Amino acid sequence: MSWWFGVKLWKRVFLGLILGVAFGLAVSQTMAPEAGEALLNQIKIVGDIFIAAIRLVIIPLIFFTLIAGVLALGDPKKLGTIGLKTLVLYLLTTFFANTIGLAMGTIFRPGRGVELGAAEPRVISAEAGGFLDRIVGMATKNPFEKIMAGEPMTLVIGALLILAAIWLTRRVEEGGVKRPVVAVIFTALFALGIAMSSMDILFLIFVSLVIGVVFLFEPGDDGPAMRFFTYASDKVLGVTHMIMEIAPFGVFALIAWVAGTRGLETFTAIFWLVIAVYLGCFIHMALIYGGIVKFGLKLPFINFFRGILDAQMVAYSTSSSSATLPVTISNVTENLGVKKSIAGSVLPLGATINMDGTALYLGIVALFTAQAFGYSLEPHHYGLIALTAALVSIGTAGIPSASLFLLATVLQVFDVTPEHTAIIVGFIFPFDRLLDMMRTVVNVTGDATVAVTVAKWEGELDEAVFRQKSSN
Ligand code: ASP
């Protein structure tokens, strides 16, 4: 067994990915469709357990890492500059993603001549929740809703988190830190309670930032508080590593399911759309992210991509940038040398609002729709598509297929009828997973790129770690 653990994790996850594709395709080619699907659905449970386990650490990880990060910065003003640089970079990379998406849609014309007759229309709301809607929703929502309703999952997760917090408190007190601990634990539990019931990462980021800044202003409290939060975030990262040991099996199961249930036939039906999206994603990652790392930061981009392979593979198999977040944080801090102060703030924000792959995809699908139904586009439409695609990508949640259901907002730009929108969504939906996997990889890679860039600019990057050679 020890040989298994001796192999680097990314290699084991990669093995899971390759074997998963092979197994899924083999099942779909050799077994009867119903029996094959039933088998793959059974196997997929392993993948669902992996996702559920990793989701469990998202909230405590962001909470502890972000507060520890703010305290490590030592100066609230620095937060402002980091925030500004992060937002500018997020917007800038999204702009390039938009441009590449529109170029791909124009060059490959994926929508020409597609057969939409068999599509089962799906009606979606045109009132797509944008960024502002989400803020308003957060402010007007009762954060204790789910707890008060006694939702079993929330109560179980809440109980687990409280137990974890109590255990941590005991450990910290053993270490001789007492006075502020009670206050820290109280705020921690309070925030965790709020966050886990609303489960909105943006809100959690906000709460954690406020608590971090409050501690910064408490003279004398930053020492013990910082020790506590740093200790707690290290422990949660430790738990993330443990969960990642299931990743090779989880990835195998998820990919086998995708390959077996949405396999080769899928690919041929939307061949040009897949080509346009995948190529656009690769070009964006190589040119924009690779370019930023190599020419902007003068760092070896091979190390960058190698360092985040785990996160990319988890993103590919789960199609969820928020489920991947703990892995992204762990990769970026441990393999790329980004200090936790940056990783803990930039990455959770990115997982919520920075979705370059999604923006790129929405642009291509908009052109796909125009081509399939023969809508003619004026030059200004391209600008508007790019703008709305960027805004929608900001409001998209980091979960599977989230953006497809926000497509109506982008299509409104050139007055696509609700019937046509429903047909397009119905047509793409069965195949969307294949596209979703790739755009999620880009979403996650974009977050990592911005984290490295901001860290380098702020002097919070350990270049020795970034430049280290891979040991195997
Ligand atoms: N699945 C994507 C993500 O989690 C969001 C999308 O549907 O574009 O990043």
pLDDT digits (tens, 9 = 90+) for 159-190: 776 676 666 666 655 555 554 565 566 566 65
Domain segments of the chain as ranges: 2-136+242-467, 142-199
Instruction: Report the CATH superfamily, name and number, of domain 2-136+242-467.
Output: Sodium:dicarboxylate symporter (1.10.3860.10)
Residue in 365, 391, 399 to alter for ligand 1 test, most ligand atoms within 8 A of Cβ = 399
Decide whether any atom of ligand 1 lies within 6 Å of the 213 Cβ: no
CA atoms within 13 A on the CB side of 390: 17
The rounded Å distance from CA 79 to ligand 1 centre is 27
- pLDDT tens figures, 308-361: 999 999 999 999 998 899 999 999 999 999 998 899 889 998 998 899 999 999
CA atoms within 13 A on the CB side of 383: 3
**If DSSP codes are grouped into helix, strand and coil, which group holds residue 461?**
strand
Decide whether any atom of ligand 1 lies within 6 Å of the 396 Cβ: yes
Q: What is the DSSP string of 337-389?
A: -B-HHHHHHHHHHHHHH--HHHHHHHHHHHHHHHHHHT----HHHHHHHHHHH
The rounded Å distance from CA 266 to ligand 1 centre is 19
Decide whether any atom of ligand 1 lies within 6 Å of the 403 Cβ: yes
Decide whether any atom of ligand 1 lies within 6 Å of the 319 Cβ: yes
Please count the other Cβ atoms lying within 10 Å of the Cβ belonging to residue 332.
Answer: 27
Nearest to 187 by CA among 172, 171, 207: 207
The rounded Å distance from CA 109 to ligand 1 centre is 23
Residue in 425, 428, 440, 441 to alter for ligand 1 test, most ligand atoms within 8 A of Cβ = 440
- pLDDT tens figures, 363-380: 999 999 999 999 999 999
Q: Which residues pair with 461 in a beta bridge?
A: 338
Decide whether any atom of ligand 1 lies within 6 Å of the 325 Cβ: no
The rounded Å distance from CA 320 to ligand 1 centre is 6
pLDDT band at 193 (very low <50, low <70, confident <90, very high): low
pLDDT band at 305 (very low <50, low <70, confident <90, very high): very high
The rounded Å distance from CA 339 to ligand 1 centre is 26
Decide whether any atom of ligand 1 lies within 6 Å of the 358 Cβ: yes
The rounded Å distance from CA 397 to ligand 1 centre is 7
Sorted by sequence, the CB contacts under 8 Å of residue 24 that are 6+ apart come out as 40, 255, 256, 257, 258, 259, 260, 261, 263
User: pLDDT higher for 469 or 340?
Assistant: 340
Query: For 267-271, 274-278, 400-404, which range has the lowest pLDDT when averaged over its residues?
Result: 267-271
- pLDDT tens figures, 414-430: 999 988 998 898 888 88
User: pLDDT higher for 443 or 409?
Assistant: 443
CA distance 77 to 213: 10
pLDDT at residue 172 in the model: 59
Closest ligand 1 atom to residue 319 Cα is: 1
Closest ligand 1 atom to residue 351 Cα is: 9
User: pLDDT higher for 192 or 26?
Assistant: 26
Decide whether any atom of ligand 1 lies within 6 Å of the 436 Cβ: yes
Closest ligand 1 atom to residue 399 Cα is: 4
- pLDDT tens figures, 230-241: 888 888 888 888
